[in-house]
Amino acid sequence: MLTILGFAMVVCFMYLIMTKRMSALIALIIVPTVFALAGGFYHGLGEMMLSGVKALAPTGVMLTFSILYFGLMIDAGLFDPLVRFILKIVRGDPLRVLMGTAILTLLVSLDGDSSTTYMIAIAAFLPLYRKLGMNILAMTCLVNLASGIMNLSPWGGPTARAAAALRIDALDIFIPMIPAMLLACVTLVGVAVWFGLRERRRLGVLRATADDHDPGAISLGAGDEKECEANRRPKMFWPNFILTTVLLVLLVVGALPIQILFMLAFAVAAMLNYPSLSQQKERIGAHAGNVLAVTSLIFAAGIFTGILSGTGMVDAMAKSLLAVIPHSFGPYLAIFTAIVSLPFTFFMSNDAFYFGILPVIAQTAAGYGISPAEIARASIVGQPFHLLSPLVPSLYLLVGLAKVDIGDHQRFSIKWGIFISLALLIGGILFGAIPVYR
């Protein structure tokens, strides 16, 4: 019953948001509550919800201050030179814009943090897409999937989880998968070319140069053209650049918790660029809409995940799926693990998959001579698809900054997410990181 209830809840949620019958914020709260009550979980329902909200509270804090920080950097004009440089290269060609989106995002994603990647990529490219009249869903798709590929780095999260769950070295998972990641990167650039050719046929090559670029267009909802120009701080470019570089280095090194780093960086940035109290209040107020749009979804997602875990639906879904594995699949468990990692990590959190399901699969696979490292490599194949899941907090940041509907984004991107994940799998097989049969 719990298995049916769990899958029905996720399917109902996806249907409602993708058909636009309900907003993601409302669906994240109402759908799990209704299903929990239908399953008879009256007692302890509030504790489950609160537990989920508490679990995502640090993410909410991080996103609040990271949006404010990068919002200030955008207002101050830190990214203006980058946008002008990109404009000089692309010269109004949609094909070049989309290829640049994929390549730049892959490079920015090296820090392994999706939220930071989304903020930098959207700040750099959204003005160009708006100026040229391009499809913004193509941009969010490429940014989302590029982050999913580079998220396989040892410091990105999934690889570290798999290593911890199976008690192996993260580098034993990551290094053999590098050729597969490169193949996935090339495949993503190929997808960008496909998008670009379609956009070029639709729009042609338009005039958009550094000379006619409107700096105010860089602002992501923080005021009109005149206000944006007044908020520019060109003399603070180098202090802002140094501050942002130091912040990114500290994030990668893990010197302090990411929430604390963004809080400190925001406070320093506000004092440097907008020293007066009235200016600081004005800038915070200008970005309050973006903050509220994202953080409200994060806390609503906490209710969804809290009920999914607290009722035992996640465990039931995992056990039921594992129970249907035929014995004859044993020698193919590595391939099987890679394929099921797509739906598993889409319908449940990475923690639930890597710490709850992966050890069971690895123990079974050991009987067929498949090593834990090989199973771990197979398990990370679904990560590009995973980042499209409504259970991933950073997804709401991406669609919030780009101002697109989450249902539209998922409808556009899901097939490409599967495609990139399959490219990772094929690369893993071709380069010997994942065995086909053992």
Statement: residue 377 has pLDDT above 80? yes
Task: Quote the mean pLDDT of the chain.
Answer: 85
Statement: residue 79 has pLDDT above 80? no
**Together in a domain, 285 and 306:** no
- Which domain-ending residue is among 273, 293, 313? 293
The answer to whether 311 and 48 are in contact (CB under 8 A) is: yes
CA–CA separation, 164 and 376 (whole Å): 10
In a domain? residue 196:
no
Q: List b or e across 89-100, with b for residues whose CB sees 16 or more CB atoms inside 10 angstroms.
A: ebebbbbbbbbb
- pLDDT confidence tier of residue 213, bands split at 50, 70 and 90: very low
Q: What is the mean pLDDT of residues 286-312?
A: 84
Give 353's DSSP letter.
Answer: I
Statement: residue 80 has pLDDT above 90? no
User: Following DSSP, what letter does each residue of 312-336 receive, concatenated?
Assistant: THHHHHHHHHHHT--GGGGGGHHHH
Q: What is the mean pLDDT of residues 76-93?
A: 77
**Together in a domain, 233 and 335:** no
Residue 317, pLDDT score? 76
Sign of CA dihedral 366, 372, 375, 379: positive
Statement: residue 212 has pLDDT above 60? no
**Of 144-148, 259-263, 266-270, 288-292, where does mean pLDDT reach its minimum?**
288-292
**Together in a domain, 142 and 269:** yes
Q: Tens of pLDDT along 258-268?
A: 889 989 999 99
Domain that holds residue 250: 55-156+217-293
Q: What is the mean pLDDT of residues 236-257?
A: 87
Residue 219, pLDDT score? 41
Residue 101, pLDDT score? 92
In a domain? residue 177:
no
Residue 74, pLDDT score? 80
**Angle of helix 24-38 versus helix 277-310 axis, rounded to 10:** 30
Statement: residue 47 has pLDDT above 60? yes
Sign of CA dihedral 204, 210, 213, 216: positive
Q: What is the mean pLDDT of residues 303-319?
A: 83
In a domain? residue 199:
no
**Together in a domain, 237 and 319:** no
**Together in a domain, 87 and 13:** no
**Together in a domain, 251 and 311:** no
Statement: residue 21 has pLDDT above 50? yes
Number of domains in the chain: 2
In a domain? residue 143:
yes
In a domain? residue 184:
no
Residue 112, pLDDT score? 65
Q: What is the mean pLDDT of residues 251-263?
A: 84
Q: What is the mean pLDDT of residues 313-340?
A: 81
**Together in a domain, 406 and 342:** yes
CA–CA separation, 36 and 93 (whole Å): 51
248 three-class SS = helix
**Together in a domain, 18 and 105:** no
- Which domain-ending residue is among 277, 293, 309? 293
Residue 381 tokens read as 């194949």
In a domain? residue 228:
yes
**Together in a domain, 331 and 306:** yes
**Of 204-208, 312-316, 360-364, 394-398, where does mean pLDDT reach its minimum?**
204-208
**Together in a domain, 131 and 150:** yes
**Together in a domain, 138 and 237:** yes
Q: What is the mean pLDDT of residues 93-118?
A: 84
Q: Tens of pLDDT along 151-175?
A: 888 766 788 888 888 888 888 998 9
**Together in a domain, 400 and 280:** no
Residue 31, pLDDT score? 92
Q: What is the mean pLDDT of residues 1-20?
A: 85
Q: Tens of pLDDT along 215-243?
A: 334 443 355 567 777 888 888 999 999 99
CA-to-CA separations, 435 to 72, 323, 336, 427, 428, in angstroms, rounded: 48, 23, 11, 11, 8
Residue 207, pLDDT score? 59
In a domain? residue 403:
yes
- Which domain-ending residue is among 240, 258, 293? 293
Q: Higher model confidence: residue 321 or residue 369? A: 369
Statement: residue 269 has pLDDT above 70? yes
Q: What is the mean pLDDT of residues 307-311?
A: 87
Statement: residue 185 has pLDDT above 50? yes
In a domain? residue 188:
no
Task: Let me know how long the chain is.
Answer: 438
